[in-house]
Structure 1
């Protein structure tokens, strides 16, 4: 049922009480049509209040894009549009994983084979545990590696845990499996992503690597003072080189292309039912990093299992699973998810520095999917970031994946 509360009043209630149905998007499962004008007004206000540089949003219903909206500027004087590309940070990992799954389903590699015969990182060559590493461990974040080697005191790759024993979110694991696959197949992994995933799904405009030919469509990341430091550059001066890629970060894609990717993933395009089942089975639980706080969840809102499958964060409700992934960096906050049963989903991409994106994400979810089980996660994350304000940037490098 469409709310009669004004958009502004609704947003005030959302912030104060954490509950209010959007005038534009009905609650999950309600087939009511989206009020595009109300949604545009609500998001335009959200972007202004939170100082978001660029925003793109899509709502998926029954496997179809029901609505999308674009706000702010792609670059000075150029408004955001459906052709704008957003850096989606760690959502890149899902594209890496989906490529590995297609290669495995085609028999070109195996999820449980040792990676060591084809690739051993020099940093772990003297540790015999490298022989235990498999693609499945990398995709399910159980390699035992840290998130990034530059975040540990030694600045070298090493094992924090024995492989296969416990969850530990790791971009290094994704870089490892991509390097292994490229060496296993004597191919550039970025090219494997293009030929086995992006082109078959009809989204060749997405940039898995750093492509200068996409810079004129890429949302410009700006710091708190509005300064642009260059595409794929950080305020400290470090930049990614054109022609390179990361298997864990910095993919650029348009909102509707990411929505189409979600639908194709939900449908299991590119591999068989057995591989699809493996992908969305919870391989490892998250312990105290669980997405849904079941002590605070509404009746029926606590999943029977929550953790990582192969590439995706999975909330298992028995007759339904929510497949999701997010991404964050100094200037990006991204979220994409879809329900396997209904085919309903959401894409929210913010180009915004620091706390601005974190403040806006719960508000955005309240508009497009008020019952989203992920909303509480972003509310907790924002409160944590507020507490840590003045110290390390709490949103950097997927500190809360």
Structure 2
């Protein structure tokens, strides 16, 4: 059984004496936890790793127990609980949770071939398009690459037979969103708002890019401190207001993401059978497994791990950990929740990739020393250092 989240207070106090607290907004942790030391630890971590903006939440027993905000939202504007963070690929779980709600309401089947309502022109001549289902898209088994623009000819194509193997794919999520929108005759961004965000009382999140959110959006800056524009990459490409990606670039506050996590952990919005399908491991990750059981302590090794529907799933028998991360040129994001205890963590870094990667293992050590995801980020950081990359 995985233990509930613990915070190594003694380590914080010993290692961080003399640091000053800067950004804690909520301090509702158990009395044995030194919240001021935790706040000071994150302030020091952000400074040491040159992170532009950071937001953190600790969830205990299904409620937000502590949040902290560090760095600047924009020049001269400190980060706060109203700051919107680009959560990169965590966007996918909002897409997935919307599809699950639509499926549970009988508005679309998870195992219906999507071809009746959407076929991408790039694969129209490949008969395998008729095999694609929403379940495959949500479990990353479409056979698609992550993004078509990464392929030699820039076109979408199958890399393996649909439904046969894991292959992380943002294209799969774009595909299922296009299918759902066509099937229901409604823009998918509106479906997210109507069936997911509005019922959860999340009004400020920007699944669809909104210009009225720009003044609260953490400014993404490169390693030299340059700001290239909201939703823009250093190469000059930008997303347009009114557009969205079903796989990337949603903006949300730390507290709203934590509230979403709690609702997801409770299975809010659909019945027990759909929740069980969501949390069942549909496909193993092979050498990309979250927990390296050869290195991990026995109690940290899940009995099964992989992707369910939308989420990475660590199945411990009497507990399930649902998680998802996000990584882009200027973001490193992580969110997870234990479904048994209702304990969880949100860590959002607005920083060049190598800065966030250097900070994430230490951040997890501060808020959840026994986190089964900590080893994943340590391994990732080591690989980035060895390759000289990370940005």
TM norm. shorter chain > 0.5: yes
Q: 5+ unaligned residues in a row in structure 1: which ranges?
A: 12-23, 25-29, 396-401
Q: 1-side partners of 2:11 and 2:102: how far apart?
A: 50
Instruction: Give, in angstroms, the shift of residue 8 of structure 1.
Output: 6.4
Contact 1:332/1:352 (8 A) holds in 2: yes
Per the TM alignment, residue 204 of structure 1 is displaced from its structure 2 partner at its CA by 1.5
Partner residue, 2:107: 108
Structure 1 distance, partners of 2:149, 2:11, is 49
Contact 1:207 1:252 in 2 (8 A): yes
Contact 2:289–2:306 under 8 Å retained in 1: yes
**Is 2:169 the partner of 1:162?**
no
Pair 1:107–1:2, CA change in 2 (3 A): closer
Note closer, same or farther for the CA distance 1:350–1:5 as it changes in structure 2 (3 Å cut). Answer: closer
TM-score w.r.t. the length of structure 1 is 0.91
What do the CA deviations read for 1:133-166 (whole angstroms, capped 9, x no partner)? 0000000000000000011112100000100000
Aligned to 1:15: none
Tell me if the contact between 2:12 and 2:366 (Cα under 8 Å) persists in the aligned partners: no
Alignment of 1:320-331 (within 5 A): 320-331=319-330
SS at match of 1:43: helix
Q: For the Cα contact (< 8 Å) 1:167–1:284, is it kept in 2?
A: yes
Matched, 1:153 2:152: yes
TM-score (norm 2): 0.94
Q: 1:34·1:66 contact (CA, 8 Å) conserved in 2?
A: no
User: In the comparison of the two structures, how many residue pairs are matched?
Assistant: 375
Q: 2:15 aligns with which of 9, 12, 18?
A: 9
- Measure the CA separation in 2 of the matches of 1:162 and 1:65: 42
Determine the structure 2 residue equivalent to 1:54: 53
Q: Aligned equivalents of 1:93 and 1:151: distance in 2? A: 19
Relative to structure 2, which stretch is displaced further, 32-41 or 195-204?
A: 32-41
Question: Which residue of 1 is the match for residue 214 of structure 2?
Answer: 215
1:39 aligns with: 38
Name the SS of the counterpart of 1:346 in structure 2: strand
Q: Deviations over 1:265-302 (max 9, x none)?
A: 01111100000000010000000111100011112111
CA offsets 1:219-260 (integer angstroms, 9 cap, x no match) = 000000101000000011110011000000000000000000
> Could you say what the CA RMSD is over the residues aligned between the two structures, in angstroms?
1.5
1:378 aligns with 377
Contact 1:263/1:338, CA 8 A, preserved across alignment = yes
Structure 2 unaligned residues grouped into runs of 5+:
1-6, 18-23
User: Within 2, Cα distance between the matches of 1:2 and 1:91?
Assistant: 27
Q: What is the deviation of 1:9?
A: 2.3
Contact 2:141–2:166 (8 Å) recurs in 1 = yes
Q: Is the 8 A contact 2:228 2:234 kept in 1?
A: yes
1:346 aligns with 2:345: yes
* 1:332/1:350 contact within 8 Å kept: yes
Equivalent-residue separation in structure 1 for 2:75 and 2:299 (angstroms): 46
Give 1:179 shift: 0.2
Q: For structure 1, which segment, 34-43 or 344-353, has the greater mean C-alpha deviation from structure 2 after superposition?
A: 34-43
Please give the secondary structure, in 1, of the residue aligned with 2:228: coil
Aligned partners of 2:42, 2:390: CA distance in 1, in Å?
A: 25
Distance (whole Å) between structure 2 residues aligned to residue 344 and residue 211 of structure 1:
32
